[in-house]
Amino acid sequence: MSIQTEICCYSYLSAQRAHQAGVDRIEVCGGFGEGGTTPSHGLVRLCVENLSPKAYVMIRPRGGDFVYSKEEQEVIEADLFALKSLKPAGFVFGALTPDGEVDVTLCKKVVEWAQPFPLTFHRAFDYAKDPFLALEQIIELGFERILTSGQAANAVLGLDLLKQLTEKAKGRIQIMAGAGVNEKNAGDFVAAGLPALHSSLKVWEESPFKTEKEIDMASGLPDLLGHYESSPEKLQQFIQNTGKK
């Protein structure tokens, strides 16, 4: 079975580069410094209308934990209904209870709100208290995929659990390895039998903006004078090492 490739894109340029490299799917996100939040309507529209990789849209109202208040759930619902009109390939979401269980009640609502579009359960899974119970709950909820590092700092360290989850899933849901997956180690995950890989393959690109002012605008970025984009060179090597070309 051919492994699937997904690139997390925080900009239209990165999405274009991923498309040109021939990835299977893009995950459209905002909020790089927060680890991914709901992207802008305009970014999603351009990705869906102009790029051929299947575009899955992150639904996450803020950074931080995955326990959402009543007000945040209202934002989640509003974002879903607004973005559904653009007809992406699917959505990416995850929620937990304060005790580290899958928030089954909220996730059921999100599955209903997202219909008829499929859902990936994102790396909130890596904070779940019992990964195997969470796996069964997420399958029962109707998600089609779980993005996970194997509950480790990166997917290389979590490879043993990733393989166990893939075996336990028995084809009922796709286990997609993410965090620390890159163009150099992609082949290791292919050899381990993982069905899907997720990466951003980012590189720092300098800004043309010049200033001597030292004002911190975003703690998640090194400085104001540049930004991250997916690297065409890394993308090409990544695709080659997954056997896609």
Determine the pLDDT at residue 58: 98
Tokens, residue 242: 């997954």
pLDDT of 240 above 90: no
Q: Which residue has the tokens 């079975």?
A: 1
Q: Is 152 strand, coil or helix? A: coil
Q: Which residues of 166-187 are buried (b: 16+ CB within 10 A; e: fewer)?
A: beebeeebbbbbbbebbbebbe
Task: Tell me the whole-structure pTM to 2 decimals.
Answer: 0.90
Averaged pLDDT score across all residues of the chain: 91
Its domain, for residue 234, covers: 4-208+216-241
Angle at 185 between CA 184 and CA 189, to 5 degrees: 150
For the chain, give the percent of residues with pLDDT over 90: 77
CATH of the domain at 71: 3.20.20.380
The number of folded domains in the chain is 1
222: confidence class by pLDDT, cuts 50, 70, 90: low
Determine the pLDDT at residue 2: 77
Q: pLDDT tens digits for 115-169?
A: 999 999 999 999 999 999 999 999 999 999 999 999 999 999 999 999 999 999 9
If residue 82 lies in a helix (H) or strand (E), which one and from where to where? Answer: helix 70-84
Determine the pLDDT at residue 166: 96
Instruction: Report phi then psi at 135, rounded to 5.
Output: -55, -50
Angle at 182 between CA 161 and CA 179, to 5 degrees: 45
CA distance 225 to 207: 5
